[in-house]
Structure 1
Amino acid sequence: MSSTTIVFITGANTGIGLEVVKALLQSQKAYTILLGGRSIDKANAAVKDVQAQFPDSSSTVTSIQIDIEDDNSISQAYDRISKEYGRLDVLVNNAGAAFDGQVMEGKLSMREMWNKSWALNTTSTHIMTHTFIPLLLKSSDPRLLFVTSGTSTMAESEDLSVPINHSPAKGWPKQGFSVAAYRSSKTGMNMMMRDWVRVLKEDGVKIWAISPGYLATGLGGSQERNKKAGAGDPALGGTFIRDVVEGTRDADVGKVVRRSGVQPW
């Protein structure tokens, strides 16, 4: 059984998930990093890439096939990690997506888009967590992280400094881009996180939802569009999540945290 901290990150072959892997590899602490991806080929390629970038890291990184929308894939990943490692110290529920734009592109109906948003970001994340709790409970310092969104806060949904909070002009149909399904599913995730806090309170599991900020990832389908809109460096998200893993936000257990503090509900 590994003596290093074992961290499993879903959706880790790209975006913020991959940045978490890189941040952990650069830490002074040694980790056993399990890089999860739906495509094992893409996960393997990501492992090869980060190993080349950080050849002197004291941590190890291994690819794990995991599609959180597939119960069989979740079970197989659980069985493999249980057999090879015996426990899990940190689960980073990073896998997720925004499908709102696919309605305007004609790729999904509105019902399909809303159902997919909740099925992936909320339902699948819950099932993933539920499956892996037994391995977390074998850790001496179990940590459970859910990657949420700054758009999920209801308290700040009228903040007009955020473009998506602007109201469209009078009339119908309405024009403009919306992320209503995505942000709603992440608000649901926040409540799900709170319920896991309740369920695991007596087990000593430290739990957070992580709001990494608006970063230039491929969320919503276009990394370049996000970058042009002012999104930050995705590496900021990786470093922030590593900091939470390493205990810098232990005073904020059970909350939605962002780099500047606690995100209002």
Structure 2
Amino acid sequence: MSATIVLITGANTGIGFQIVRALSSSPKPYQILVGARSPTKAQEAINAAKEENPSSPSTYTPVVIDIEADDSIRSAFNQVSSAFGKLDVLINNAGAQLEHQYTRGEISERELWNKSWSVNTASTQVVTSTFVPLLLKSTDPRLLFITSGTSTLDGTENQALAVNRHPGAGWPKPGHIGVPAYRSAKTGLNMLMREWHRILKEDGAKVFAISPGFLATGLGGNHELLKSMGAGDPTVAGPFIRSVVEGERDNDIGKVLTKDGIQEW
């Protein structure tokens, strides 16, 4: 059985690394392209996966890719193209939630919004458009976008989520910023997924957005705070995303998938 070639951006930490772990533990062989902003970070993730699954049929390749840098994206494309000539699965995982930097005064409001959209949406678009020619050389191309449970418009009425609760009257409202830049960028990402579903439908590409749930990753800057707010263990994301890669959710192409069903728009 030939190995399925999978590129994961932001694969050295958080949900990205959980995807690496899940693919490593599969009986199916994968060529796992571990995308990270430095070769050291990529290799550390590879070493950890090998140590955990020493008998895995999968192999690993570090890929240096900074999704906000066009030269880095092109270099990564050239590396994958030269080494493999195609790509079976692209998992757009790299992202950022920056509100905690804004509340600490490290970045301005404009920087918060511009960078949130740059990382989570615009850069993901550039990565995707760059790698699509390699994807379309696969016999079973798959394109995944990692989104957020906060991105659903319908779900903003759910007062069980802290980010949806109404602060008291008056201005300013210290401590009640929520994650408006992050969630709006991820809502944009959902439409980006729909556009790629439209564009690649006749090519047979299977396009999904993945909403892995509220998980205690490093994305929000404070694991313990996230856990205290009810965030789950990020290890649940890996097997879920692997199931999509392995075809278990192929009846739900073009939708935002949750572990238990479909996320409302």
**What amino acid does structure 2 have at the position aligned with 1:260?**
D
- TM alignment of 1:68-217, pairs within 5 A: 68-175=67-174, 176-217=176-217
**What amino acid does structure 2 have at the position aligned with 1:83?**
S
Identity across matched positions, percent:
56
Secondary structure of 1:115's aligned partner? helix
Contact 1:90 1:245 in 2 (8 A): yes
Q: Aligned-pair distance for 1:102?
A: 1.3
Contact 2:2 2:29 in 1 (8 A): no
Q: Aligned-pair distance for 1:50?
A: 1.2
Contact 1:100 1:179 in 2 (8 A): yes
1:249 and 2:217 matched: no
How many residues were matched structurally? 264
Partner in structure 1 of residue 30 of structure 2: 31
Q: Aligned-pair distance for 1:76?
A: 0.4
Contact 1:101 1:178 in 2 (8 A): no
CA–CA separation in structure 1 for the residues paired with 2:115 and 2:208: 24
Contact 1:155 1:264 in 2 (8 A): yes
Partner in structure 1 of residue 11 of structure 2: 12
Secondary structure of 1:173's aligned partner? coil
Q: Aligned-pair distance for 1:228?
A: 2.5
CA–CA separation in structure 1 for the residues paired with 2:74 and 2:39: 16
Unaligned runs of 5+ in 2: none
Unaligned runs of 5+ in 1: none
CA–CA separation in structure 1 for the residues paired with 2:6 and 2:223: 26
Contact 1:26 1:57 in 2 (8 A): yes
CA–CA separation in structure 1 for the residues paired with 2:159 and 2:227: 20
Secondary structure of 1:41's aligned partner? helix
CA–CA separation in structure 2 for the residues paired with 1:261 and 1:97: 25
Contact 2:210 2:256 in 1 (8 A): yes
Bigger shift: residues 90-99 or 53-62: 53-62
**What amino acid does structure 2 have at the position aligned with 1:134?**
P
Deviations 1:53-81 (A, max 9, x none): 11010111121101000000000000000
1:222 and 2:222 matched: yes
Partner in structure 1 of residue 238 of structure 2: 238
Contact 2:5 2:33 in 1 (8 A): yes
**What amino acid does structure 2 have at the position aligned with 1:184?**
S
CA–CA separation in structure 1 for the residues paired with 2:128 and 2:222: 28
CA–CA separation in structure 2 for the residues paired with 1:223 and 1:79: 36
CA–CA separation in structure 1 for the residues paired with 2:9 and 2:102: 26
CA–CA separation in structure 2 for the residues paired with 1:106 and 1:163: 22
Contact 1:212 1:237 in 2 (8 A): yes
Q: Aligned-pair distance for 1:3?
A: 2.5
Deviations 1:124-167 (A, max 9, x none): 00000000000000000000000000000001101111111001
TM-score, length of structure 1 as denominator length: 0.98
CA–CA separation in structure 1 for the residues paired with 2:214 and 2:155: 15
Q: Aligned-pair distance for 1:262?
A: 0.5
Q: Aligned-pair distance for 1:222?
A: 1.4
Contact 2:151 2:186 in 1 (8 A): yes
Contact 1:99 1:220 in 2 (8 A): yes
Deviations 1:190-217 (A, max 9, x none): 0011001111111010000000001111
Contact 2:36 2:42 in 1 (8 A): yes
C-alpha RMSD over aligned residues: 1.0
**What amino acid does structure 2 have at the position aligned with 1:121?**
N
CA–CA separation in structure 1 for the residues paired with 2:161 and 2:225: 16
**What amino acid does structure 1 have at the position aligned with 2:61?**
T
